[in-house]
Each structure stands twice: as C-alpha cells, then as structure tokens.
Amino acid sequence: MSGGEQQVLDRIERARRRKPVVREELITLAHGSGGKATQTLVEAVFLEAFRNPLLATLDDGATLPLGSARAAFTTDSYVVSPLFFPGGDIGDLAVNGTVNDLAMCGARPRYLSAGFILEEGFPVADLRRVVASMAAAATAAGVEIVTGDTKVVQRGRADGCYITTTGVGVIERPGTLSASAARPGDAVLVSGPIGAHGAAIMLARGDFGIEAPITSDTAPLHDVVAGLLDALPGQVRTLRDATRGGVATVLNEVAVASGVSVVLEEAAIPVRTEVTGVCELLGLDPLYVACEGRFVAVVDGAHAQSALDALRAHPLGAEAAIIGAVAAEPEALVLLRTAIGGTRVVEILVGDPLPRIC
C-alpha cells in the first residue's frame, strides 16, 4: 500500500470514529445537495434527535411492520426550479421520485400523499398543469394519491409551488434491501445512461446560453425493479436511485454503510454524448449529476449477467450496464479505474453545483 493510500485510510478511520458535527452556524445550499453536508446534517441533527432503529439505516425509506404485512414508507420534498422542464415537471417528478424510493425498498408502490406549499400569486393554470401531470404519473405507476394538504404562503415566501409526496408500498418478497448489504465479489450495475435529469434542468434554467437536445430521465422504476427482483430472488443486495449527488454519492453511501470498496470502470459507465458535452462545458462530472429515472443495483457477482439481462428486458433498462464490482478493501471508498488506466478516489459530493435539481 502506498503512503497516499494509507493517508486515505487513516482519514476514513478518523471520520468513522468522529461524531458528525455541523460546523456551520447557518444552513447553506450544500445542506440540501444530497452530498456530504446533507449527510452530516442528517446524522448530527436528525438522527441524533430521532434515534430509532428504522431511521438509523438511512435507506431511501423505512420498512414498517403493520399487522402481518410489511410496508415501505418514504417521503421527499420537491423544490425543483424551474417547475416545468424538458421531459417533465415538478408534478411527475414528485410522483416518480416517491414511487422510485418505494421501489428501491423492494416494495410495490400503492398509496401516495401530496402536501402542497403554494406561493400567493401562483397561477391556478400552472397548478392544474402540475396536478394533471401528477395524476398521469400516478396512473402510469399504478398508485393512488389518497390524501393531501394545501398551504399558501405570502409572495416571496416560496417559489411558486413546492410539493412533498409520501408513499406507502407493500413489500411482498422476503429479505431486506439495504445500502449496508453489499459484499465483496458483488457486481454493480446501473439501469441506463446517467446525468440526463440534472443536465436538462441546468439547460432549462437558461443561465448558460447552451442548447442541447436533453430531456429529463424522470420515470417510474418499480416495474424494471420488479423484473430484476423476480429474475434474481435473494441475490439483489442494494438498490438506490441515483438522484441528488448522482451515482458517485449513492455508491459512497453503499461503500460506507457496507464497509466495502466499490471499484468502477469509467469506460463502462453509460453517459449520453449530449450529457457528456454539457457537463464538460459546465465543468461537471456526470458521476455527480442527478438522475430521476436511473438506479444503481448491487447484486451477487455470480448473477451479474442475469441481472443485466433482466434490466435490459425492460424499456427503462435497455441501456443498462455492469459498471463495477465490490471489493473488501480499501474499506468505505469508491475508486474509479479511468479510461486511460489510472485509478482515482471518487469522493462523496462536496458543496452543491446544482441546487434545487429536484
């Protein structure tokens, strides 16, 4: 092991022993990035106060024992800007996002709630458009929006429309999927080309004067996930949709939670040419750019090809790829073997290059 690698390991060991501390006195946009600052805030403030075994897993949702049934329960607030963008809007994003978090728990999505925070002066026509989009997304995903709430705040106290969706799904298969379940020898797959949602939002803001034919990848993933789980009973360890913080952040969470190393092959990671182009212009790494219709799967290495076949059998997984493998060491680290033969550490997202992406 080189001196540099030893330093990295020492740093991680220190981080693991250290109690997470929020050093900032004021909330910054980075606290909402989904990356390192969010993680520290969640661990130091929320987990510390709400400490209970269900929350402590910090997975995309909680698994609830309800009578003889097991239910998955997950929530997300949506503050995306702009509200309407190529490929979708805040409405289908809010439905698909919660449907996907339920799917990542291995649950069949069933019921959604929707809480609206509206800004005084928001056009009713825009609200109707958002709601129609939610209804269509709910129908497509086979879920019902069964309860809700509406609040209105004064002008300048919101930004048009924020939506919080919460979902309940039924877990019908045995076993529990978790970020902490990855083991050395597992394979890492992604369900399709990454980064399109984040790139579409950046372009929709129009701040950069760039035009490119990129649409958001927002889509409900429960069906492609069901195909994967059916094809590999008991062999799927972890599912995570690669939203805020992108594939890099999700895999860092898996590496830390499972105490393993994830080794990615750069050449194997699917990214559309247009997305690569936009990311280069904006100085972004696609590994950190949010998807809203892509997920990472960690599966038993012996079944990697079956997993790939199962994903590719579904239109939303047609461009799936095996992008890496899980190793025992260096613990809690994501490494990338670059196309030119080097290896670099892929850190968790620091700061927030793309605020309000979802």
Q: Which of 8, 140, 170, 232 binds a copy of itself (CB under 8 A)?
A: 170
Q: Look at residues 167, 350, 338, 96 and name the one whose alpha carbon lies nearest to residue 246.
A: 350
Q: Look at residues 98, 135, 76 and name the one whose alpha carbon lies nearest to residue 222.
A: 98
Site size toward a copy of itself, by CB under 8 A: 79
Assess 267 for contact with a copy of itself (CB under 8 A): no
Q: Is the CB of 139 or the CB of 305 nearer to a copy of itself?
A: 139
Q: Give least dist CB 52 to a copy of itself, A.
A: 5
Q: Is the CB of 117 or the CB of 225 nearer to a copy of itself?
A: 117
Q: Which of 103, 104, 137, 168 binds a copy of itself (CB under 8 A)?
A: 168
Find the binding residues for a copy of itself in span 68-107 (CB under 8 A): 68-69, 71, 73-79
**C-alpha separations of 120 from 19, 114, 117, 214, 327 in Å:** 42, 19, 10, 32, 53
270 CB-near residues (< 8 Å, 6+ apart)? 190, 192, 193, 194, 319, 320, 321, 323
Note if the bond before 330 is cis, omega within 30 degrees: yes
Q: Which of 41, 104, 177, 254 binds a copy of itself (CB under 8 A)?
A: 41
The three-point CA angle 124-135-84 to 5° equals 55
Q: Give least dist CB 216 to a copy of itself, A.
A: 18
| Cβ pair 92, 217 in contact under 8 A | no
Find the binding residues for a copy of itself in span 283-322 (CB under 8 A): none
Q: Give least dist CB 167 to a copy of itself, A.
A: 9
Q: What is the DSSP letter of 153?
A: E
Q: Which of 15, 153, 302, 345 binds a copy of itself (CB under 8 A)?
A: 153
Assess 8 for contact with a copy of itself (CB under 8 A): no
CB burial of residue 244 (10 Å; 0-12, 13-18, 19+): buried
Assess 280 for contact with a copy of itself (CB under 8 A): no
Q: Which of 132, 267, 302, 345 binds a copy of itself (CB under 8 A)?
A: 132
